Amino acid sequence: MAAQAACTRFSDNYDLKEELGKGAFSVVRRCVQKSSGLEFAAKIINTKKLSTRDFQKLEREARICRKLQHPNIVRLHDSIQEESFHYLVFDLVTGGELFEDIVAREFYSEADASHCIQQILESVHHCHHNGVVHRDLKPENLLLASKAKGAAVKLADFGLAIEVQSEQQAWFGFAGTPGYLSPEVLKKEPYGKPVDIWACGVILYILLVGYPPFWDEDQHRLYSQIKTGSYDYPSPEWDTVTPEAKNLINQMLTVNPGKRITASEALKHPWICQRERVASVVHRQETVDCLKKFNARRKLKGAILTTMLATRNFSSKYDAQEVGRSMVTKKGEGSQVKESTDSSTTIEDDDVKEDKKGGVDRSSTVIAKEPEEIRIMCPIKTCSQLSTNSQCSARRQEIIKMTEQLIESINIGDFEAYTKICDPHLTAFEPEALGNLVEGMDFHKFYFDNVLGKNCKAVNTTILNPHVHLLGEDAACIAYVRLTQYMDKQGVAHTQQSEESRVWHKRDNKWQNVHFHRSAVTGPSPFTFNHK
| pLDDT digits 0-9 by tens, 301-339 | 666 655 555 444 333 333 333 333 333 333 333 333 333
Q: How far apart are CA 184 and CA 303, in angstroms?
A: 31
Query: Is the Cα torsion angle 115, 119, 122, 124 positive or negative in sign?
Result: negative
Lowest mean pLDDT among 81-85, 296-300, 365-369: 365-369
Q: What band does 238 get if pLDDT is binned at 50, 70 and 90?
A: very high
Q: What is the DSSP letter of 358?
A: -
Q: How far apart are CA 36 and CA 504, in angstroms?
A: 44
Closest CA to 346 of 376, 371, 325, 313: 376
Residue 286 has pLDDT above 80, yes or no: yes
Q: How far apart are CA 44 and CA 89, in angstroms?
A: 9
Which of the pair, 349 or 41, is modelled with greater confidence?
41
* Residue 78 annotated as catalytic: no
Positions at the binding site for ATP: 43
Mean pLDDT estimate for the chain:
80
What pairing do the DSSP bridges indicate for beta strands 456-470 and 422-429?
unpaired
Residue 340 has pLDDT above 70, yes or no: no
Q: Output the CA–CA distances (angstroms, integers) from residue 277 to 107, 112, 133, 199, 272, in the order listed.
A: 19, 13, 32, 26, 10
Lowest mean pLDDT among 125-129, 406-410, 429-433, 498-502: 429-433
Closest CA to 185 of 167, 201, 199, 165: 199
The one catalytic residue among 101, 136, 196, 423: 136
**Contact 213/205 with Cβ under 8 angstroms?**
yes
**Residue 52: per-residue pLDDT:** 87
Closest CA to 254 of 208, 218, 202: 202
Q: How far apart are CA 288 and CA 283, in angstroms?
A: 9
**Contact 521/432 with Cβ under 8 angstroms?**
no
Q: CB-hemisphere CA count at 13 Å for 169?
A: 11
pLDDT digits (tens, 9 = 90+) for 128-171: 999 999 999 999 899 999 999 989 999 999 989 999 998 889 99
Looking at the DSSP assignment, which residues form a beta bridge with residue 87? 44, 80
Alpha helices in 134-262 (DSSP H): 183-186, 194-209, 219-228, 243-252
Q: Mean per-residue pLDDT for 30-41? A: 95
Q: Domains of the chain (ranges plus CATH)? A: 5-91 (3.30.200.20), 98-293 (1.10.510.10), 301-380 (no CATH), 384-518 (3.10.450.50)
Q: How far apart are CA 63 and CA 78, in angstroms?
A: 11
Lowest mean pLDDT among 30-44, 489-503, 511-525: 511-525
Map 282-314 to HEC letters. Answer: CCCHHHHHHHHHHHHHHHHHHHHHHHHHHCCCC
Q: What band does 494 get if pLDDT is binned at 50, 70 and 90?
A: confident
Q: What is the DSSP letter of 341?
A: T
pLDDT digits (tens, 9 = 90+) for 447-461: 888 765 555 556 788
Name residues whose C-beta falls within 8 Å of residue 488's C-beta, 6 or more positions apart in sequence. Answer: 455, 456, 457, 494, 526, 531
Q: What band does 444 get if pLDDT is binned at 50, 70 and 90?
A: confident
Q: How far apart are CA 199 and CA 97, in angstroms?
A: 17
* Strand ranges for 303-401 from DSSP E: 346-348, 365-366
pLDDT digits (tens, 9 = 90+) for 168-221: 899 999 998 889 999 999 999 999 999 999 999 999 999 999 999 998 878 889
Q: Mean per-residue pLDDT for 70-82? A: 94
Q: Which 3 state secondary structure label does DSSP give 77?
A: strand
3-state helix, strand, coil in the chain (%, to 5): 40, 25, 40
Closest CA to 296 of 261, 357, 344: 344
Q: What is the DSSP letter of 184?
A: H
Closest CA to 386 of 493, 311, 298: 311
